[in-house]
């Protein structure tokens, strides 16, 4: 039977399973071909109506013969039922980040190192640096086995069902023009085009939800949805640019890799080029720097990679990045526009942030209409007023903020701007702490409540699965939750009318909330969002005082007896518990049945009172493992070096923290010395 006969409409009745199999395979092959032409090559051969007829025929046959449905069938792309949670998967090989540079001299030095290693000229692969969400695709015997987010570079989250909804991703690699290996792991970037991003944000704002900050966040958020049907509604694309690991096939150079990726039916970034030497790199960088504002997708630089795979192996990697590649980033974009007004937003912690409402301006392909002014002192220092012409900058090409006022000689300016005396959300009298203005009505301010619910439900707090930003916003908007205690009075009937909830999911969330009534004291303290109290301080308070009542009644002097708590922290903690509104809100939680379990008094531990800072990669320990070890022995781990730091542990390729330690005279430990210290404390290897 010819291919044309297999593709024509047939009567399902009377078909044998063998006949149905031939028709189904022919339809799948034809649909995959048209998907590749449309989504990868942007060169469709048939109309949408004709494509739909092919798809409908396939669906009809699969419904009649469900035993013939396979996971790589085109009909299995559309998102199915919500998944309970995102599983963790170890990557086939580490997904390292790239060393980033912005100075041409740094690129010149990189080129010199490569030429020295090669003993002569070096050929480079030059490609745009996509600003999206990194992903690993694993194909086994040509079929998509799993898709995994980058995560920490070694372990990521499984998002296979979500990635299947991206039409440019082949569920089965094309085998007609290039042999398909039994196993191959690929690296790519999931992107959301700028035009689609603007439509998505407009929809979120109209629904009363928080918009995404940029296309990259939108792509990552869409990719990690628990419900693949939501992912399917968002026009994501996936571009592949690297083979992470492969078995059964070998390549000599990057040109062979790129050719294989294309022949397997994968979509690659635009205009990947081969170059030689510094002049080609600079010309390529200049081209994309000039073109980036005309693109419908975000890039923040170009990637320069050694083309010779044998030389890559010889050069190797550090703990963080390959030595054979570099990201040559663009300078941050700045644009000029006018301040139409200055509004005030109220965050989860009650901090009031002045926000410039701008005449819309294109900054890096994104329309910016608002930008942070940080705090009242920053507004005063820059002397920003309504009506001023200002220069806007996207920090890291992400968050817009006002850099400076652009002088306009002879133009009359508006009145100096001042922070309101009352919270714009709840009317409470505001207070000041340093350069920041904040609303002290922590638990009664609706603007703070959405963030407080999320924080209260966070992993280090009560760990309530399913209570994220969208649900929290809906609960506050519908006035189902006016204070944290109201969470424990919710019923499934309250939740079912909310978008995204059905009877089962509503019951599941209510049960998850009620299961957390009995909670460890450290988690309860962290969940309250007490100023200066993170997860480790909450643990120290719980272990030192043992009960919530003892902490609430503790004086500043008593609080300072806890390791790591100084005058500033003790003042903030004591002031929190002295506030009548905070006490009433916490008492309401206790009255609702929340029971913080008493913590055992902490015994003396070998590293009590010491503070560690880590920099560089360790061979024997992961960063998280090293942190857990020293904390289990009583020490604290800080993110920056100060004169109070006890030790700075230095691994391979350390950062500026090692220099800070030398400058401040802080003791530096190599990994061997760190391991010896741990062994002495009873925990080393």
Across the strands, what pairs with 301?
Answer: 329
How confident is the model at residue 146, as a pLDDT? 92
Is the separation of the CB atoms in 104 and 97 below 8 Å? no
- Which pLDDT band holds residue 337 (cuts at 50, 70, 90)? confident
Does the structure show a pLDDT above 70 at 488? Answer: yes
Does the structure show a pLDDT above 80 at 344? Answer: yes
Q: What is the DSSP letter of 422?
A: B
How confident is the model at residue 77, as a pLDDT? 58
Cα 526 to Cα 568: distance, rounded to the nearest angstrom: 18
Is the separation of the CB atoms in 626 and 614 below 8 Å? yes
> Longest Cα pair distance anywhere in the chain, in angstroms?
89
Tokens of 213: 């900050």
Is the separation of the CB atoms in 385 and 413 below 8 Å? yes
Closest CA to 452 of 423, 476, 420, 426: 476
CA 119 remoteness from chain centre: 40
Which runs of consecutive H residues, i.e. helices, occur in 119-153? none
Does the structure show a pLDDT above 60 at 14? Answer: yes
Cα 75 to Cα 45: distance, rounded to the nearest angstrom: 20
Q: What is the DSSP letter of 330?
A: P
Is the separation of the CB atoms in 130 and 269 below 8 Å? yes
Q: What are phi and psi of 660, to 5 degrees?
A: -60, -40
Is the separation of the CB atoms in 212 and 218 below 8 Å? yes
The continuous run of DSSP H or E covering 431 comes out as strand 431-433
* Residues contacting 567, CB < 8 A, separation 6+: 556, 560
- Which pLDDT band holds residue 30 (cuts at 50, 70, 90)? confident
How confident is the model at residue 2, as a pLDDT? 66
Cα 290 to Cα 377: distance, rounded to the nearest angstrom: 36
Q: Environment class of residue 288 by beta-carbon count within 10 Å: exposed (0-12), middle (13-18) or buried (19+)?
A: buried
Q: Among 7-11, 165-169, 399-403, whose mean pLDDT is lowest?
A: 7-11
How confident is the model at residue 430, as a pLDDT? 93
Cα 40 to Cα 34: distance, rounded to the nearest angstrom: 10
Q: Is 634 helix (H, G, I), strand (E, B) or coil?
A: coil
Which runs of consecutive H residues, i.e. helices, occur in 292-417? 309-315, 376-382
Does the structure show a pLDDT above 70 at 111? Answer: yes
Cα 266 to Cα 260: distance, rounded to the nearest angstrom: 9
Mean pLDDT of the chain: 85
Closest CA to 466 of 491, 490, 518, 501: 501
Cα 515 to Cα 464: distance, rounded to the nearest angstrom: 9
Q: What is the CA radius of gyration of the chain?
A: 29
Cα 564 to Cα 659: distance, rounded to the nearest angstrom: 24
Q: 274-295: per-residue pLDDT in tens?
A: 999 899 999 999 999 888 877 8
- Which pLDDT band holds residue 58 (cuts at 50, 70, 90)? confident
Q: Among 206-215, 375-384, 609-618, whose mean pLDDT is lowest?
A: 206-215
Length of the chain, in residues: 685
Across the strands, what pairs with 390?
Answer: 337, 405
Cα 59 to Cα 65: distance, rounded to the nearest angstrom: 10
Q: Environment class of residue 205 by beta-carbon count within 10 Å: exposed (0-12), middle (13-18) or buried (19+)?
A: exposed
Cα 146 to Cα 188: distance, rounded to the nearest angstrom: 13
Domains and CATH numbers, the chain: 3-76 (1.10.287.610), 100-329 (3.30.470.30), 334-346+353-405 (2.40.50.140), 446-516 (1.10.150.20), 521-597 (1.10.150.20), 611-680 (3.40.50.10190)
How confident is the model at residue 136, as a pLDDT? 95
Residue carrying the six token digits 């903020």: 401
What share of the chain in percent tops pLDDT 70? 90
Q: Environment class of residue 667 by beta-carbon count within 10 Å: exposed (0-12), middle (13-18) or buried (19+)?
A: exposed
How confident is the model at residue 481, as a pLDDT? 93
- Which pLDDT band holds residue 462 (cuts at 50, 70, 90)? very high
Is the separation of the CB atoms in 190 and 223 below 8 Å? yes
Closest CA to 606 of 670, 684, 545: 684
Q: Which position has the higher pLDDT, 189 or 70?
A: 189
How confident is the model at residue 68, as a pLDDT? 82
Closest CA to 470 of 223, 214, 81, 204: 204
Mean pLDDT of 434-454: 85
* Residues contacting 324, CB < 8 A, separation 6+: 114, 305, 306, 311, 312, 315
Percent helix / strand / coil, the chain, rounded to 5: 40, 20, 40
> How many helices (H) and strands (E) in the chain?
25, 24
Does the structure show a pLDDT above 80 at 646? Answer: yes
Q: Environment class of residue 178 by beta-carbon count within 10 Å: exposed (0-12), middle (13-18) or buried (19+)?
A: middle
Q: Is 280 helix (H, G, I), strand (E, B) or coil?
A: helix
* Residues contacting 396, CB < 8 A, separation 6+: 332
How confident is the model at residue 54, as a pLDDT? 80
What are the CA-CA distances from residue 172 to residues 29, 139, 226, 269 (Å)?
Answer: 10, 8, 24, 20
Catalytically annotated residues: 129
Residue 663 CB neighbours (<10 A): 10
- Which pLDDT band holds residue 568 (cuts at 50, 70, 90)? confident
CA 353 remoteness from chain centre: 23
Q: Is 33 helix (H, G, I), strand (E, B) or coil?
A: helix
Is the separation of the CB atoms in 282 and 305 below 8 Å? no
What are the CA-CA distances from residue 266 to residues 28, 128, 223, 577 (Å)?
Answer: 17, 17, 18, 58
């Amino acid at each position: 039977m010819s291919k044309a006969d297999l593709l024509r409409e047939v009567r399902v009745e009377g078909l044998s399973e063998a006949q149905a199999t031939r028709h189904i395979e022919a339809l799948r092959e034809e649909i995959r071909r048209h998907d590749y032409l449309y989504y990868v090559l942007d060169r469709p051969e048939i109309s949408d109506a004709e494509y739909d007829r092919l798809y409908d025929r396939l669906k009809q046959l699969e419904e009649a013969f469900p035993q013939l449905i396979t996971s790589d069938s085109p009909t299995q792309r559309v998102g199915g039922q919500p998944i309970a949670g995102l599983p963790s998967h170890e990557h086939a090989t580490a997904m390292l980040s790239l060393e980033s540079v912005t100075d041409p001299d740094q690129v010149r030095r990189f080129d010199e190192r490569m030429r020295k290693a090669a003993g002569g000229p070096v050929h480079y692969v030059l490609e745009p640096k996509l600003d999206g969400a990194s992903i690993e695709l694993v194909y086994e015997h040509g079929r998509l086995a799993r898709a995994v987010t980058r995560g920490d570079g070694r372990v990521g989250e499984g998002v296979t069902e979500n990635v299947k909804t991206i039409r440019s991703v082949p569920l089965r690699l094309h085998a007609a023009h290039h042999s398909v290996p039994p196993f191959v792991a690929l690296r790519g970037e999931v992107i959301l085009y700028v035009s689609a991003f603007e439509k998505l944000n407009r929809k979120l704002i109209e629904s009363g939800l928080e918009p995404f900050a940029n296309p990259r966040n939108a792509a990552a958020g869409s990719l990690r949805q628990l419900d693949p049907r939501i992912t399917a509604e968002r026009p994501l694309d996936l571009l592949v640019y690297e083979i992470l690991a492969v078995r059964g096939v070998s390549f000599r150079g990057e040109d062979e890799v790129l050719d294989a990726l294309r022949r397997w039916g994968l979509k690659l970034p635009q205009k990947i080029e081969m170059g030689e030497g510094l002049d080609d790199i600079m010309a390529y960088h200049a081209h994309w720097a000039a073109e980036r504002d005309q693109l419908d997708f975000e890039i923040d630089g170009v990637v320069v990679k050694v083309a010779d795979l044998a030389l890559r192996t010889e050069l190797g990697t550090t703990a963080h990045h390959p030595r054979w590649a570099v990201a040559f980033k663009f300078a941050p974009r700045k644009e000029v526009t006018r301040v139409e007004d200055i509004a005030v937003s109220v965050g989860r912690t009650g901090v009031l942030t002045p926000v410039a409402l701008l005449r819309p301006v294109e900054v890096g392909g994104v329309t910016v209409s608002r930008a942070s002014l940080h705090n009242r002192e920053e507004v005063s220092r820059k002397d920003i007023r309504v009506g001023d012409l200002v220069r806007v900058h996207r920090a890291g090409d992400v968050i817009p903020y006002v850099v400076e006022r652009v002088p306009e000689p002879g133009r009359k300016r508006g009145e100096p701007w001042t922070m309101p005396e009352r919270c714009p959300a709840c009317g409470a009298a505001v207070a000041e702490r340093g350069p920041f203005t904040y609303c002290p009505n922590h638990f009664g301010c609706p603007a703070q409540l959405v963030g407080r619910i999320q924080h209260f439900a966070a992993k280090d707090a009560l760990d309530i699965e399913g209570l994220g930003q969208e649900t929290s916003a809906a609960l506050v908007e519908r006035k189902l939750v006016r204070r944290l205690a109201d969470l424990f009075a919710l019923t499934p009937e309250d939740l079912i009318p909310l978008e995204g909830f059905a009877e089962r999911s509503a019951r599941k969330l209510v049960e998850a909330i009620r299961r957390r009534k009995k909670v460890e004291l450290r988690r309860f303290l962290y969940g309250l969002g007490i100023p200066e109290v993170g997860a480790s301080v909450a643990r120290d308070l719980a272990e030192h005082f043992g009960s919530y009542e003892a902490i609430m009644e503790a004086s500043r002097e008593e609080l300072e007896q806890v390791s790591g708590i100084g005058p500033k922290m003790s003042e903030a903690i004591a002031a929190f518990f002295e506030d009548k509104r905070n006490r009433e809100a916490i008492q309401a939680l206790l009255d609702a049945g929340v029971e913080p379990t008493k913590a055992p008094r902490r015994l003396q531990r070998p590293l009590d009172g010491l503070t560690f800072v880590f920099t560089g990669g360790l061979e024997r320990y992961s960063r998280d493992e090293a942190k857990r070890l020293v904390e289990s022995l009583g020490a604290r781990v800080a993110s920056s070096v100060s004169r109070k730091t006890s030790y700075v542990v230095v691994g391979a390729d350390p950062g500026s923290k090692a220099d800070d330690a030398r400058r401040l005279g802080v003791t530096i430990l190599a990994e061997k010395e760190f391991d010896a210290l741990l062994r002495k404390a009873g925990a080393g290897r």
